[in-house]
Amino acid sequence: MSPILIESIQAIVVDLPTIRPHKLAMHTMQQQTLVIIRVRCSDGIEGIGESTTIGGLAYGNESPESIKQNINSHLGPLLVGQDAANINAAMLRLDKAAKGNTFAKSGLESALLDAQGKRFGLPVSELLGGRVRDSLEVAWTLASGDTARDIEEAERMLDFRRHRIFKLKIGAGEVNADLKHVIAIKQALGERASVRVDVNQAWDESVALRACRILGDNGIDLIEQPISRINRGGQIRLNQRSPAPIMADESIESVEDAFSLAADGAASIFALKIAKNGGPRAVLRTAQIAEAAGIALYGGTMLEGAIGTLASAHAFVTLNKLTWGTELFGPLLLTEEIVAEPPVYRDFHLEVPRTPGLGLTLDEERLAFFSRT
Ligand code: MUC
Ligand code: MG
């Protein structure tokens, strides 16, 4: 039997409006930009993937434009003509020829998995070894920048039974004002919700030592990436001293980073992100390192749309324990979709489809409408 070949690869930049501005320490999002990947194969099957980041180059080393360019000029040509059904060989070929670029690789790996799933009539979770659950608890990020508005938003989410875990984005403001903001929200929600913070590297160790203590003493359950990813020594010390557990997010830019963080004892929770590891299979390697080291897991997001969100979800449902749940709410931050049937959120959870591949179909008209020309 002759192999099924990868015939063409296309990367499309799509700009979508958000329900409100989303304020992070390093950037305020006024919209979200997705990079959608289409991989067409010689058996007529098309796989779709997504390589999405936050705020151009504000968050990481790849921007939507660089992802598209690198797929067009480097990664795509390496894959065209290769066996579409051998994902190991395809991804090894990319890793051998191209350093880093985990966001671009993640979208490509997702698309190859989607195509393979459609080919064999299996959901991606089953290609990854099989799911151990059908849905994932999903946190919501409160990031309007306004305390009263955030409390109102959280109350609405609790009423709708959509979210009962809230992550607060802090670090852009003065630290005492940020602490006041977080404590006010925790006091308003009380035991009805888990409240966590994401500092996105904004503090230095001297600020973080005091702030983490105050947050822990005021019922905050988790502190995500309080200091720079570069300050490994500081992160180890914080992980030892903070009364609330420290989660590594930006410190993980590869599976190898995850190993060295575990070896150093620099975090007690890992945020798993397909984009920062190089795909749904790569992120499971980081999960396995964490499991072996006794580090708890959280299913993270780069605020992807439906495709990247479900590519993450298919990986996360294969995990034994996701102690801290997930934050796969990206599609809910968008006012528009480019897939025919958006992911289903119900009763605090995201449901992960059992249909072949990722379980999504592109809406061609909407995709064309929102695509950058
Ligand atoms: C991040 O740093 O975790 C995830 C949720 C959110 O609101 O922002 C992202 C990025
Ligand atoms: Mg984070």
- Report whether residue 301 contacts ligand 1, using a CB cutoff of 6 Å: yes
SS3 content of the chain, % helix, strand, coil (to 5): 40, 25, 35
Nearest CA to 141 out of 192, 191, 194, 178 is that of 194
The string of pLDDT tens digits covering residues 138-166 is 999 999 989 999 999 999 999 999 999 99
The pLDDT value recorded for residue 112 is 99
Distance between first and last Cα of the chain: 40
CATH classification at residue 14? 3.30.390.10
- The answer to whether residue 304 sits within a structural domain is yes
Site to probe by mutation for ligand 1, drawn from 302, 304, 309 as the one with most ligand atoms within 8 Å of Cβ, is: 302
132 and 227 part of one domain: yes
221 and 149 part of one domain: yes
The pLDDT value recorded for residue 136 is 98
Atom of ligand 1 nearest to the CA of 333: 7
Nearest CA residue ID for atom 9, ligand 1: 302
248 and 337 part of one domain: yes
- Report whether residue 198 contacts ligand 1, using a CB cutoff of 6 Å: yes
25 and 115 part of one domain: yes
pLDDT over 90 percentage in the chain:
99
Q: Which ligand is nearest to the CA of 248?
A: 2
Domain with 318, as residue range(s), is: 127-351
The pLDDT value recorded for residue 150 is 97
- The answer to whether residue 293 sits within a structural domain is yes
Output the average pLDDT for the chain.
98
The CA 328 to ligand 1 mean position distance, Å, reads 10
181 and 315 part of one domain: yes
Angle at 14 between CA 18 and CA 38, to 5 degrees: 135
> How many domains, in total, are found in the chain?
2
The string of pLDDT tens digits covering residues 75-104 is 999 999 999 999 999 999 999 999 999 999
- The answer to whether residue 1 sits within a structural domain is no
Q: Which ligand is nearest to the CA of 22?
A: 1
Residues 223-240 as b or e (16 or more Cβ within 10 Å = b) = bbbbbbbebeebbbbbbe
Tell me the torsion sign for CA atoms 113, 114, 120, 121: positive
Q: Could you state, in chain order, the average pLDDT of each consecutive group of 10 residues for the chain (373 residues)? A: 94 97 94 98 98 97 98 98 98 98 98 98 98 98 94 98 98 96 98 98 98 98 98 98 98 98 98 98 98 98 98 98 98 98 97 98 98 91
The CA 292 to ligand 2 mean position distance, Å, reads 23
Calpha distance 190→167 (Å, rounded): 14
133 and 96 part of one domain: no
114 and 138 part of one domain: no
Instruction: Let me know if 169 is a catalytic residue.
Output: yes
Q: Which ligand is nearest to the CA of 24?
A: 1
- Report whether residue 304 contacts ligand 1, using a CB cutoff of 6 Å: no
266 and 288 part of one domain: yes
CATH classification at residue 159? 3.20.20.120
204 and 313 part of one domain: yes
